[in-house]
Amino acid sequence: MTYEEKIRALAEYLKKSERSFAFSGAGVSTESGIPDFRSRGSGLWERVDPMKAASLSALRREPVQFYKFFMGVWESFVGAKPNAAHYALACLEQEKLLAGVITQNIDGLHRAAGSQEVWEVHGHMRSCRCLACSKLYPFDALLDQYRSGTNPPRCSQCGGMLRPDVVLFEDAMGEDFYKAYQALSGCQLLIVVGSSLQVYPAASLPELAKTLVIVNREPTPWDVRAGLVINEKMAGQVFTDLMTVLGLDFLGVGHRA
């Protein structure tokens, strides 16, 4: 199939499916300036062992180094804006062509674009909490302390160390993962967008879908199971072309929500 034929096929899948979801990974946000973790040649994990840098034990063992490493990554999220793919997915939900978005991303851009049903299976950057007493804080409290020279950031209540509300290696999966698993019951179509489908258990979710479509720049282990694979273009271009075929005006949909 040509690229144009694949876009038309994806449009037909969406129009015929009665219960569809999107499953997004880091590749959906790279066009918003947020770094990818696993892409060949540029992914962060090609330079750093994630189990040594992004695990709960790494935070406990070397908190100063943990925050020095990740603050540069997290601060790149500040000011990031949704791109065409985020807005398109939000529009598809508004048009009842998608039931919601399951995302591995912690950047909050699906919500910013106007998506209402979002399951953030790896957590988010809206809040942080104390490892000792579990007191919750806005994520800005952690950022502000670090920027003012406090590393690691501390709880104002008990002095314990703060941690972000993201799922680190060695963490148990959060509540959204189990909610997403339940939501996918009866899923007829799952569109994977910008995910390498290598991080488990989140990468097991495609097995719940009757039909799988994968939009990703590189091959994934699930390609052989997919009814359609599109890797010729970046996600923003794919969804711009899809929305043209569907005849939907989608840019800025979040501002209309």
**What is the distance between the alpha carbons of residues 74 and 133, in angstroms, rounded to a whole number?**
24
Rounded alpha-carbon distances, angstroms, from residue 226 to 191, 203, 219: 10, 14, 11
* Cα 13 from chain centroid (whole Å): 23
**43 DSSP assignment:** -
**How far, in whole angstroms, is CA 243 from its chain's centroid?**
21
* Residues with active-site annotation: 122
Phi and psi of 177, rounded to 5°? -65, -45
Give the C-alpha separation, 17 to 210, whole Å.
Answer: 10
CA dist list (Å): 86 to 54, 62, 113, 171: 26, 35, 6, 27
Strand order in the sheet with 189-193: 118-120, 101-103, 20-24, 189-193, 211-215, 228-230
Residue 193's H or E segment, with its range, is strand 189-193
> Helix 84-94 to helix 235-246 angle, to the nearest 10 degrees?
40
